[in-house]
Structure 1
Amino acid sequence: MEPDIKDSPKHSVQIVEEKGSVEPEQTLYNAHINTAEIDERKVMRKIDLRLIPWFSLLYLLSFLDRTSIGNAKVYNLERDLEISDNQYLISLTVFFIAYAIFEVPSNIFLKRLRPSVWFAFLMVMWGLIMTLQGVAHNFGGLVGLRWMLGTFEAGLYPGMAYYLSCYYKRKELGIRTALFTSATTLSGAFGGLLAAAISNMGGVAGRPAWSWIFILEGLATILAGVASYWIVQDFPDTAKFLSEAERTFVVRRLQGDDQYSAAGEKLQMKNVLSSFRDWKTWFSMVQLMGCDMPLYAFSLFTPSIINQGFRATPANLLTVPIYAFAAVVTCFVALYADKHGRRGYCNIVMLSIGGIGYIILIVSRNAALSYFAVYVATCGIFPVVPNTVTWIANNQEGVYKRGVTLALAISMGNINGAVSSNVYRARDTPWYSLGHALVLMYICIGIIANSTFLYLLKKENARRDRGERDEVIGSEELEDNGNGRYATVEDAKREKGDNWSGYRYML
């Protein structure tokens, strides 16, 4: 038999098949179920309403809990616990170390367990730890509690980012990730207002103002964690809020978007290790390093930076419009990137704008000018984080591989959060030139990493367009071209994931 070369209409790649043995490109998921009557907009609206609002609340609480120590500091936390500035910075650092260590295991547990159970467990535990911070009475107690807080919070953000990628197409994911990630901006605004309000409880039950900040926010997290057991939904192939036809429809549309593993994938070590062998994973880690360190530095120390010209409560209140502005910019960038598929370009532009903001902060010796520069700086921080996370998820196929890659990249970002907790030193007040300069350095790293990553993805897509990555599909009688031999196209997709010749990386 003569080999027949056919062009794949969807991907414009050549697939070699033996005449008379052509297999369908993809086996239809739940082929016995008819989804012709399903209204796509109605189903996606249902998913949005079930997932995004609650996840936004959970992430707001998460970010509020990890950064509220910055608000507590301006209400004499250091004085009452009799700790030095260096000890305070250590207490910030240990959180990020624990956070980074436990992210990858948490994402694997999330896939193996029900999301409703795992997320509820994590939230109740860190809410308890958060509450106990309010009764800490020395440096050792504070450090131990911050470590445990990082341990249990580690699973939420990478888990939610991975979880959403299992529901949405690649060009739908950006705005959803931005909406729940914008809770970081709302937590900054809400945290300032809440801290200012709770400060009035100073002296109640003999506890200082900073103690009540921890106690009340921790109790709110515990309540949200308990509620999550009933509110958080499972993965799309088993989600109870969808009918069987709707579940089938969601999985099929994901498979049509090159997410071949949407129908399910067994936990195998090779699927986990494939993330470590992928060059994109290591680039992703550097990309998030370039925006996460500035994010945490900004969130932890903005009240202290603004405090250079204002008292404690006004400094907290002045953070509110900054975070509101950041939320608007974040959603605008996400919508643009989803519509035009230009995630890398958006990152480079926004990081450059943020760099300008930090240059102004470095040279400024005027409180009003510095306050303006903080607005400019947010453009290079808050929009870039969700856009980068979405970009990473967009270019990883395989549910376990994507989960591990997201966790690894986010953990690297959070390790550098430990750096951020040590760069704004008390002896550098009021202008913090060293801290601003180091944040600017990280932004430059982000610009370089995103530019290089974009170039390499474009180069790889071009190779696939030219047919250099085409696999051999057919019998063993056909000559192996070095890209692998598979019985069917479906086998090639399943085995190679995003390395399949028909897969195109999003730019």
Structure 2
Amino acid sequence: MSVEKQSHNLTEKGSIEPEDIQLGTVVSTSGKMVNVHGDMKHMDQALGLALQTKDMSFTEEEDKKLLRKIDFALIPFVSFLYSLFYVDKASNGWAAVMGIRKDMHMVNDMFSWSGSAFYLGYLAFQPFASFSLQKFPLAKTFSVYMFSWAVIICLQATNVNYPAFIFLRTLLGCAEASASVFTTVLTSQYYKKKESFLRVSFWLATSGFGVFFGNMLAYGIATRADSFSIAPWKILFIVIGLISFVVAIILAFHIADDPSKAWFLNEKEKLMVVERIRENYQGFGNKVWKKHQFIEAMTDIKTYLFFIYAVAFNIPNSALASFGSILLSSDLGYSSTDSLLYGAPQGVVEFMCLPLIAYMIQRFNLPRLLSTAVVITITIAFACMLAFGKNHGTQLAGYYLLYLMQIGPIGSFSYFASNVPGHTKKITITSVYLVGYCVGSLIGPQTFVAKDSPNYVPAKIAIVVCVSVAAACFYGIYFLCLLENKSRDKKAAELGDQYVVPENIEFGDLTSNENIYFRYVL
């Protein structure tokens, strides 16, 4: 039977015979010999295709052609999608200087809570969002969430009632809780370990495009406020919501639940995708929640370092997302409309510089975790420029360059995509990170206290401290992975030639602890 026909039959049936799959025996990091077997539902979804690729070969040129095809089909769309994720949650920050605080009679710290409400919803719903993306078809489930948040954003323009607005902001956080998990799993399905860092940098850096696009959109609406029959901030919400709605429709038809269903790949290319990602020791994912993988994730010290990092990083990140325009207006003295205009270059710095840094790291084969830690360390200086600068020029430069700290999420999500085999473990660690993201994001807007206006000195000092903690966490993760790889090398050397890695063990849905031959990408 030809490769093409085999794959076609698999796609139609959705499973293969026999029901019980015997992959063989693998050595765990504890030295135990574990027999890997079970029915297809407990294996990685890519195993069905992997069993058909035994005699398959393809040239380097075919591999490069396939990679270009995947990049063209996924990266532009997913990048724009992720930029919308930033625009949607940051839209109330732009609305703040467009009159929403006055129209809703916000006083004292009421606006701060409009930022925190989003993350309360995100925090409460995140575990269910992650579980649903594992349990149900990936892309279809996420498209439902995106339809929901598009409707919610439009509804924000329907009232001037503060409690109703807070309620909608909370629902928006619930709807968007799935976005980062979706993009992380999608990346792991298509790309090798060494390729994921650069690709993650593309879609994460487009939050910088979102900053630029959102500021320009808000500026354009604000400068034409007299031309509208409704408040300009309402126009902003409606436009952003409609754009999100259109993207949700495209998503439902364009992105497949896994590469075996991708419309842009032929049958041979689907098998090639499986062979390409074999080195990751993970495939498309698994729909069965596994308790032992959850426990392994929750007893890994790196999980908690990522949690602490996420809290520390997102205190300044969310604070500046909600109060950046206000800071430019109240502290640096720009008018309400000019503060929107002067906020745009910050997005350009992020959008242009982060992929360039990621490319240099990949091009010269630099340790990605260590390089991420070094770049975050450098941004401490930019945080100090913003906090302690003696003139507005220095402070503005610090404000722009500080956003190079966004290299941190790139390092984090590429780690989850390439360094966490075992689908339940991957979902769990990513979820813990996102819980930390929510906690930090809840705290962040609260650091900007009304009584500290217009300079907000305590909030600026908090930014410096938090960026320093974030850098320390990444150094810790790097050294733990380095030591673990050395330990695995030593144990594997002791086994010598007496043990042969079973065929297709890469798609047994095993965790890093269950397979001594897995190595972390540093």
The match for 1:477 is none
Deviations 1:12-48 (A, max 9, x none): x99999xxxxxxxx99913367643461111111111
The match for 2:427 is 403
More off after superposition, 340-349 vs 72-81: 340-349
The match for 1:501 is 516
> Given the two structures, how large is their TM-score scaled by the length of structure 1?
0.86
2:392 equivalent to 1:377: no
Task: Return closer, same or farther for 1:473/1:279 CA change in 2, 3 Å cut-off.
Answer: farther
The match for 1:36 is 57
Unaligned runs of 5+ in 1: 1-10, 18-25, 475-484
Structure 1 CA distance for aligned equivalents of residues 156 and 255 of structure 2: 27
Q: Retained in 1: the 8 A contact 2:310–2:436?
A: yes
More off after superposition, 465-474 vs 319-328: 465-474
The match for 2:149 is 126
Structure-to-structure mapping, 1:232-271, within 5 angstroms: 232-255=255-278, 257-262=279-284, 266-271=288-293
Structure 2 CA distance for aligned equivalents of residues 15 and 101 of structure 1: 39
Structure 2 CA distance for aligned equivalents of residues 487 and 37 of structure 1: 22
Structure 1 CA distance for aligned equivalents of residues 246 and 142 of structure 2: 13
More off after superposition, 227-236 vs 425-434: 425-434
2:487 equivalent to 1:457: no
Structure 2 CA distance for aligned equivalents of residues 441 and 343 of structure 1: 23
Q: Retained in 2: the 8 A contact 1:287–1:388?
A: no
SS in 2 for 1:182: helix
Structure-to-structure mapping, 1:61-460, within 5 angstroms: 61-202=84-225, 206-255=229-278, 257-262=279-284, 266-307=288-329, 308-339=332-363, 340-379=365-404, 381-460=405-484
Structure 2 CA distance for aligned equivalents of residues 261 and 54 of structure 1: 22
What letter is aligned with 1:356? Answer: A
Q: Retained in 2: the 8 A contact 1:304–1:315?
A: yes
Q: Retained in 1: the 8 A contact 2:188–2:283?
A: no
Task: Return closer, same or farther for 1:367/1:114 CA change in 2, 3 Å cut-off.
Answer: same
Q: Retained in 2: the 8 A contact 1:178–1:331?
A: yes
Structure 2 CA distance for aligned equivalents of residues 301 and 92 of structure 1: 9
CA shift, 1:227, in A, is: 2.2
Structure 2 CA distance for aligned equivalents of residues 30 and 490 of structure 1: 7
Task: Return closer, same or farther for 1:270/1:240 CA change in 2, 3 Å cut-off.
Answer: farther
Deviations 1:50-87 (A, max 9, x none): 11111111111111011011111011211110121311
Deviations 1:407-460 (A, max 9, x none): 221231222111111112333233221111111111111122111222221111
SS in 2 for 1:444: helix
Greater fraction helix: 2
What letter is aligned with 2:349? Answer: F
CA shift, 1:355, in A, is: 1.0
2:77 equivalent to 1:54: yes
> Given the two structures, how large is their TM-score scaled by the length of structure 2?
0.84
CA shift, 1:332, in A, is: 1.7
More off after superposition, 148-157 vs 214-223: 214-223
RMSD across aligned positions (CA):
3.0
SS in 2 for 1:506: coil
What letter is aligned with 1:390? Answer: S
What letter is aligned with 1:371? Answer: L
Q: Retained in 1: the 8 A contact 2:50–2:275?
A: yes
Identity %: 21
What letter is aligned with 1:195? Answer: A
Structure 2 CA distance for aligned equivalents of residues 76 and 303 of structure 1: 13
